[in-house]
Structure 1
Amino acid sequence: MATSDELAAAVEGQTIAGEFAKTAARRADLTALRWRTPDGGFGEWTWRNYADRAARVAGGLIRLGVERGERVVLMLRNRPEFHVADIGILLAGATPISIYNSSSPDQIQYLASHSDAVVAIVEDVDFLERFLKVRGELPALRQVVVVDDPDGLAPDDVVRFDSLLDVDPVDIEAAAAAVQPGDLATVIYTSGTTGPPKGVMLSHYNVCWTTESTRRAIGFPVEGFRLVSYLPMAHVAERMVTHYFHVLDGTEVTSCPDPAQLAAYLREVRPNYFFAVPRVWEKLYAGVHAALAADPEKGASVWKAMEAGAVDALAPVRAQIGLDDCKVAFSGAAPIPLEVFMLFLKLGLPMSEIYGMSECCGPMTWEPFDVHPGTVGPPIPGCEVKLLDDGEVCCRGGNVFLGYLKDPARTAEVLDDEGWLHSGDIGVFDDGGYVKIVDRKKELIITAGGKNISPANIEAALKSFPLIGQACVIGDMRPFVSALIVLDPEVAPAWATSRGIEASTMAELSRHPDVRAEVERAVAEANARFSQVEQVKRFTLLTDEWLPDSEELTPTMKLKRRGVLTKYADEIEALYA
């Protein structure tokens, strides 16, 4: 196994800007970025086009007065201009920082102020309005740049993105040479369970080291691989996979600005390399189940082929979801239900689960091919992983961040004097040295009887049933375990229609006795996998869908446990009445 020092030697002197210059020269006339055009086709830029635009953006930003070491915030959907702007900012010697597109004016004010942003680049007038509402509270913010303003609605002092491209390009080689490995590459803002968001500082060295580690984990070159970019670029996984890996490895990225359209993009792009959060895999899983249920004869042959391991015979099923040419497929950011994971593995997808956090550039453990289902793999090449006496997972390596921006106290809480990053997760090693995550240290439920229970494992089991879209398990200091359950908004109506159940809304559906009975059956089946004390004794079927970036879910659809416990306090108390 490679050491952290060996990887450091392999990436010595590398920066994202420098590697971009090499990739753009090497792949000059090959496609780099693609996007959907209004006529339904796809537009594309070669690496030469990409480099020219990025170099012009760098020149435009310098003309706006952006200096080396300053910061620029980005509020853009997944589109080619994001990549151009991000690299252009780096070539100007500055640091690009993405913020979630769902951010409110107050959140924008906090993030732009905390990061000392001097320029903001926003997608359209809607995003622009949110910035303008708080611009008076951002004295450091000198300019706002808008990408799309077809009706000319932006105020005169707002800069048009096209005007940045009218400037002479910087010399890419010279601009890249001025960037140093220790320079700040980006800041990833993570929502803390308490207090304001923390700014995770990642250096060029962190990114280059982590890219080299994942290359070694995969074991073969991914240059030219097709990818779809669809998650927010403020999320470390998307930024790493479809931006930094893309730049350093020379992949072809198709931007999907609306995650709801992902299924269609997968079928058209047929990605070779695909990362998704569990909720996306769960939706694909539900779609496969629905398709097989609609054609019982075909379904029976597919299930038979899966059990027999007849991978070649299953190629048409993989093609239906656009993953028939996928060489690397993985899930991360939250636990994936084992049933969902196993379905894709049996379909012949090279499926794996990755584990990590923003503070280690994303990955800490991963094995793309020799998987142990139910685990998140061994440490990535060069990264050391250990468990503390209480089971907390810690890691050390070139992927570990520089610290939290302007927050040495919270940095000291997670990064010790020996360079170990404390994850806050509880894990165990299996006999092969693969890590299995038990749960968040702070989220373990301790029942009134003193039993420690992992809510995430029970929630994953519940969500493995297609009818159940979301679940939150309750039980801390309670006499028994209960759950709040939300129907899947896509699966439930189709399930009801197939059984002659008439309901015009999800609220009506959730109150229907047949639906309730089916959820009871699913809960009972899930309970069979757990000990008596871990089983869900009561549940409430909620009437409202939980949406991304809400009180209940993060933008990447992870559960906001504290938000749920607060919002549904009355429903929870009723379960224990």
Structure 2
Amino acid sequence: MTSLAFKEHKEHLKRLGIPRIDPNKQSVEKTGTKEYVHVNPITAKLGPDLDFFQGMETLHDVFKRGMRLSNNGSCYGWRPEPKAPYRWVTYDHIYKRAGNFGSGLIADGVEPGQQTMIGLYSQNRIGWSITEQACNRYSFVLIPLYDTLGPDACKFIVNQADIGTVVCDTESRAKLLLEKADQMPVLKRIVMMSAITDELRKRTEQLDIKLLQYREVEENGLNNKQPDMLPKKSDLCTVCYTSGTTGNPKGAMLTHGNVISNLSAFMALIHDKAPISDETHFSYLPLAHIYERFAQALILAHGGRIGYSQGDIKLLTDDIQALKPTIMPVVPRVMNRIYDKFLQGVKDKGKLKYTVFNLARKKKLAQLMKGNTRTDTKWDKVFKPLRDIMGGNIRFMTTGSAPTTEETKNFFRCVLGVTLLEGYGQTETTAIVTCGVPADMSPGHVGAVLPNTEIKLVDVPDMNYYAKNGEGEICSRGSNIFIGYLKDEEKTRETFDEDGWMHSGDIGKWLPNGTLKIIDRKKHIFKLQQGEYVAPEKIETYYQRSEYVGQVYVHGDSLQSYCVAIIVPDEEVLLKVGKSKGFGNSFEQLCKRKEVNKMILDDCVRIGKQAGLNSFEQAKKVFLCAELFSLENGLLTPTMKSKRPALKNYFKSQIDAMYGQ
């Protein structure tokens, strides 16, 4: 096994004097402050400016380091067809192609440097990564576009960021981009990874947009080599647009230094669980989001290799079995899918095998809680068929983007024998500001403060959260925090206070062991299981337009993948409908009828669709309530606004029923 990366890692730990984190004391209060600021014990010992890698300042440095540690080994892999084995290319191959592609753009009139924003509209694939490395060689700023943004949001981003060049993988995505092209005067060039059809060429000619083949740009660069214009630590590496919940998306500006800072902090936190050059990472989470970008940078920094999925969720386990990854970031939605499939497979084998499986899981969990992460115990024989489905080699997993149940996390720890860490953060924090430490498997938190970060909780009096009680809005400050929103000073000022603290909008609570627990959301916004943010009040505004709706409360849960709604129908309208359809003339009975429930849900979804709501924003189930929300029953404020916490508690049983609990 190649261990150069791990050897260097151990040397860094020793040279810098980085201690292991005590699971019972994962954060400490910063000395000299009265604001209850928490820092990592590593920060308390070594200071906030942790430079773990020493000399690695940009993502270009990350790639060059990986090239050295891997001895120019395999870098990226893909499956040319569904059942084919993975095909690999080396670090040097990617580096040369990135140089050619960047040179080709410059030779075609694209100016190198920070003033140039390159749009990238593609699923995860080799072309994505070559484009990214080209940006890192010539100081272009990479701006990913993604499908859920929609044509209007893409138009806004292209215009706001002055994106003159967009790289697309497929004709379908190019056509989506071109839907609003007549309103994007800044767009001058589209580079296609796939074949160019006559229809697409004709359309771009009509719009006076240059259409180029990716390989054509590379060949042009090969014949017109351009000198590198390497970025600095303080330069932007990307602008990540968040899909947002209302209005236009916001472009979070992240520097090379932001990413390197988080890589350094994460490496210090996980201590001797560091990646080595033989690691294989499975890439299926979208590269348009910072979580996957951070995970890939971590692998590349250690000379590991990255295998891409085929992009079809139904082929996910097939890809995993072919790749046999050692490292895999996951999100709750994928974890639950795998968990449910595994569990159903065991149940289908009969009651006896299911009983044995549960016994083995219970015994293995007891061992894990004592720190035993072996996979060769007598109980592991029960889990081997399931481990084989996951390739048999996974040793390290991370999860984030939304909360994960302890049952699901412990299932993966038991069955796969992996180190599974949960983290918390946002795009604006370059992925994470807290993360679990390997030695701690206690439930109900999102881990320790990262060594590059300070976190304090700020009073939210109207929600009865106070920092003196260890509760409040989570605010962070450090070298990993983004520098602001692109061309949006107002939103930037709303996010940062005068002392430079970034306000998250999430409510946290410090636990006795120094870890952070997420307990609420300051604004009425929630994140669904798949990581999408939803603003319920916006949805309620649209649903209120239905003639059948008197009052409505939309609810979402970060452990669920869809929204539900409590609706008090308009009694007068519903009685008329009941009479005309022969459903009866009792309001209470009408509210209980399945036909009425479906009629009202369908009408709300219709209105929501007309208003432009995304599918994940639409309620999938409703409960019809015959009692109005009022001051008397405690469900409305004196200004007649919905009391959301009270509504959540009042309708808990109905909400649980809609989620099948």
Q: Do the two structures share a fold, i.e. TM-score over 0.5? A: yes
Query: What SS does the corresponding residue of 2:449 show, helix, strand or coil?
Result: coil
Unmatched tracts of structure 1, length 5 or more: 447-452, 464-469, 479-537
Structure 1 contact 16–247 (Cα < 8 Å) conserved: no
Mapped partners of 1:170, 1:394: distance in 2: 51
Structure 2 contact 567–625 (Cα < 8 Å) conserved: no
The correspondence for 2:420, drawn from 351, 354, 379, is 351
The correspondence for 1:434, drawn from 510, 515, 522, is 515
Q: Deviations over 1:238-272 (max 9, x none)?
A: 12112x22332322111114141222222222221
Letter in 2 for 1:137: Q
Q: CA deviation at 1:379?
A: 0.8
Q: CA deviation at 1:229?
A: 1.1
Mapped partners of 1:361, 1:170: distance in 2: 37
The correspondence for 2:254, drawn from 173, 186, 202, is 202
- 1:316 is aligned to 384
- 2:445 is aligned to 375
- 2:83 is aligned to 40
Mapped partners of 2:333, 2:403: distance in 1: 10
Counterparts of residues 461-540 of structure 1 (less than 5 Å): 470-472=561-563
Q: CA deviation at 1:392?
A: 0.8
Count of equivalent residues: 490
Structure 2 contact 78–307 (Cα < 8 Å) conserved: yes
The correspondence for 1:300, drawn from 341, 355, 365, is 355
Q: CA 1:539–1:39 in structure 2 vs 1: closer, same or farther (change >3 Å)?
A: closer
Mapped partners of 1:251, 1:172: distance in 2: 28
TM-score, structure 2 normalization? 0.67
Asked if 1:398 corresponds to 2:453, the answer is no
Query: What SS does the corresponding residue of 1:219 show, helix, strand or coil?
Result: helix
TM-score, structure 1 normalization? 0.77
Q: Deviations over 1:124-158 (max 9, x none)?
A: 21111222332232222221111101655531730
Structure 1 contact 394–421 (Cα < 8 Å) conserved: yes
Unmatched tracts of structure 2, length 5 or more: 1-40, 365-376, 461-471, 527-535, 537-552, 570-596, 629-661
Counterparts of residues 117-516 of structure 1 (less than 5 Å): 117-149=163-195, 151=197, 153-155=199-201, 157-169=210-222, 175=228, 178-220=230-272, 221-222=274-275, 223-242=277-296, 244-260=297-313, 261-296=315-350, 297-309=352-364, 312-322=380-390, 324-347=392-415, 348-369=417-438, 370-390=440-460, 391-443=472-524, 460=559, 470-472=561-563
Structure 2 contact 103–225 (Cα < 8 Å) conserved: no
Letter in 2 for 1:419: G
Structure 1 contact 58–170 (Cα < 8 Å) conserved: no
- 1:483 is aligned to none
- Percent identity, please: 25
- 2:96 is aligned to 52
Q: Deviations over 1:2-58 (max 9, x none)?
A: 336332585566111133233234435311000011273222111111111111111
Letter in 2 for 1:2: I
Letter in 1 for 2:285: L
Structure 2 contact 107–224 (Cα < 8 Å) conserved: no
Letter in 2 for 1:233: L
Query: What SS does the corresponding residue of 1:48 show, helix, strand or coil?
Result: helix
Mapped partners of 1:172, 1:160: distance in 2: 18
Query: Comparing both chains, which one has the higher relative contact order based on Cα–Cα distances under 8 Å and sequence gaps of 6 or more?
Result: 2
Mapped partners of 2:224, 2:444: distance in 1: 49
Structure 1 contact 186–201 (Cα < 8 Å) conserved: yes
Structure 1 contact 61–92 (Cα < 8 Å) conserved: no
Q: CA deviation at 1:171?
A: 11
- 1:491 is aligned to none
Worse-matched range after superposition: 90-99 or 152-161: 152-161
Mapped partners of 2:289, 2:280: distance in 1: 20
Q: CA 1:60–1:454 in structure 2 vs 1: closer, same or farther (change >3 Å)?
A: same
Query: What SS does the corresponding residue of 2:180 show, helix, strand or coil?
Result: helix
Mapped partners of 2:60, 2:290: distance in 1: 18
RMSD (Å) for aligned C-alpha atoms: 3.6
Worse-matched range after superposition: 200-209 or 106-115: 106-115
Q: CA deviation at 1:314?
A: 4.5
Mapped partners of 1:40, 1:399: distance in 2: 41
